Amino acid sequence: MGFLTVGTENSTPINLYYEDHGSGTPVVLIHGWPLSGRSWEKQVPALLEAGFRVITYDRRGFGKSSQPSQGYDASTLAADLDSVMTQLDLREAILVGFSMGGTEVARYLGRYGTERVDRAVFVSAVTPFLLKTEENPEGVEASVFDGIRQKIIEDRPQFLTSFLKDFYNVGLFDKVSDEAVRMSWLIAVGASPIGSLKAVDAWLEDFRGDLRSIDIPVLVVHGDSDKTVPIKASGARMREFIPHCEDHTISGAPHGLNWTHAEELNRILLDFVGRAAQPRPSFSQVSAESAPGMH
């Protein structure tokens, strides 16, 4: 529906494509890698029907947004989200981040606070810290991400084919059609090759400090059959850093559960966002010294 300018690269503006529908409490949907705002196809109608204003936008480098050669780190992407929030003057908003979108939500809240945000949702998110290190043994080996980068460089279209099979757990059940997978591939292959590669680094940033600072209601939703972002390295650990969060594990769900398990996700999501008008509970802050896993 429109474009927001978030910066420039040499002689050209960096524009984010966004859509803004409905009225009421604003819900901002932030998509995952390597898709676009169109990946929320099954959530937008449900939220509109429930009386929410729904905003989707395409991350820089993806969908209909500009494709610069830089700015794919979590802090810059969070600044892009801040531009969306401020240029649209969103208040008491609900942020919903899917997969990589969870990094924008976490870093935005850690850096910009909750003045404009009422609550937050992490769906199949890569948070809190996906990279395995000596002091983060629950993470994923660095060699896995090295392999992803190499495959993107060698043959990105072919890699996307195999990636999306695991994204939806194709062949394990009949919850996704060949056509739906093809639609995702067409969206993904149109993304910036440079952005697709550089964005991988953002998955590996440490968001534990950002999460510890969150003082609003939080919902975490993850599938226990997620091959892309294993729940044990991500969703199952969120309570370590947001003790007050509400979490739901969807049995048998893959990474792309917003399509395959849309009905269940929508039910959980609508219940949570439907409480946005109620007074916030009081959350005690977790100190750096007492937060589990922080050293």
Residue 226 is among the residues annotated as catalytic for this protein: yes
Task: Check 31, 222, 248, 255 and give the catalytic one.
Answer: 255
Residue 73 is among the residues annotated as catalytic for this protein: no
Task: Check 80, 118, 215, 226 and give the catalytic one.
Answer: 226
Residue 31 is among the residues annotated as catalytic for this protein: no
2 forms beta bridges with 18
Strands 53-57 and 26-30: parallel
Distance CA 190, CA 70 (A): 17
Task: Check 36, 39, 65, 99 and give the catalytic one.
Answer: 99
Nearest one of 259, 63, 265 to 177, comparing CA atoms: 259
Give the residue numbers annotated as catalytic, written as ranges. Answer: 99, 226, 255
